[in-house]
């Protein structure tokens, strides 16, 4: 098989990025984190002082905006213009912004070409919300990674605590935000975050990361056998 293209989709907090990175290392593929692109658009909107419910303003903010993916020392970096914003887009507020802007068709159209260009570059693993349904509908393997909302909320809270945050809210707040984002992502009119009809659904609620990777590799081997 000349090219291996793998789509990893799923809800927030399921561990898509961690899984995709591990699979990329194991299989020698390029990893593309599409969620980072939406975070960059959200960061730009936040810097402009826009409101999260100002869809028209967010759409207008795309005019002249340059978002790009670059690889430095084997790692993906996200740029707005010439500024590396990779470290600035990993905050709870920008995470919320990413969910808001990703619901806008203008933003999805703006970033769609960039994502498709990245998908066409060779062996690639791409994670996001609509990779298997919109960006790479002809991917060789589609995995929809999920877990129960309460499990994902607990994992996300632990991640923030491990980062040394001193303002970590109670678990109930994480769960509420997780459920709100799930509802917003899955019900949006354009490119909703749902499993592709031909995706393998992998629920990792009750298994650790190591076994998640093992199961995903098994799916990939099964679906690429003989290709």
pLDDT at 227 over 70: no
What is the token pair recorded at 95? 């995470």
- Going from N- to C-terminal start, the domains of the chain cover 1-29+124-227, 33-122
What's domain 33-122's superfamily in CATH? Answer: P-loop containing nucleotide triphosphate hydrolases (3.40.50.300)
pLDDT digits (tens, 9 = 90+) for 64-114: 999 998 888 778 899 999 999 999 998 888 988 998 998 899 999 999 888
Residue among 141, 115, 106 at smallest CA distance from 27: 141
Strands (E), the chain: 5-9, 30-33, 67-72, 75-80, 83-84, 124-128, 141-146, 200-203
pTM, to two decimals: 0.83
Sheet holding 30-33, edge to edge: 30-33, 124-128, 5-9, 141-146, 200-203
pLDDT at 127: 93
Mean pLDDT, residues 133-138: 92
5-43 confidence digits (pLDDT tens)? 999 999 988 999 999 999 999 998 989 888 899 999 999
Domain 1-29+124-227 has CATH 3.40.50.300: yes
Greater model confidence, 193 or 145: 145
Same fold, 1-29+124-227 and 33-122: yes
């Amino acid at each position: 098989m000349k090219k291996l293209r793998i789509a990893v989709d799923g809800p927030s907090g399921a561990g898509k990025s961690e899984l995709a990175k591990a699979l990329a290392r194991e299989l020698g593929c390029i990893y593309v984190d599409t969620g980072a692109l939406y975070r960059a658009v959200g960061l730009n909107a936040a810097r402009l002082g826009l409101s999260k419910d100002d869809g028209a303003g967010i759409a207008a903010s795309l005019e002249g905006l340059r978002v790009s993916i670059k690889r430095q020392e084997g790692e993906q970096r996200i740029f707005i213009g010439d500024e590396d914003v990779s470290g600035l887009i990993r905050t709870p507020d920008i995470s919320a912004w990413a969910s808001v802007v990703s619901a806008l068709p203008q933003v999805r159209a703006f970033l769609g070409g960039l994502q498709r260009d990245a998908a066409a570059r060779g062996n690639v693993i791409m994670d996001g919300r609509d990779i298997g349904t919109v960006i790479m509908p002809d991917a060789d393997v589609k995995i929809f990674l999920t877990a129960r909302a309460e499990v994902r909320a607990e994992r996300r809270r632990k991640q923030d605590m491990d980062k040394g945050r001193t303002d970590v809210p109670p678990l109930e707040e994480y769960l509420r935000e997780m459920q709100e984002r799930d509802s917003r992502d899955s019900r949006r009119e354009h490119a909703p975050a749902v499993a592709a009809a031909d995706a393998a659904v992998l629920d990792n609620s009750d298994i650790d990361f190591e076994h998640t990777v093992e199961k995903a590799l098994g799916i990939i081997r099964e679906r690429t056998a003989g290709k």
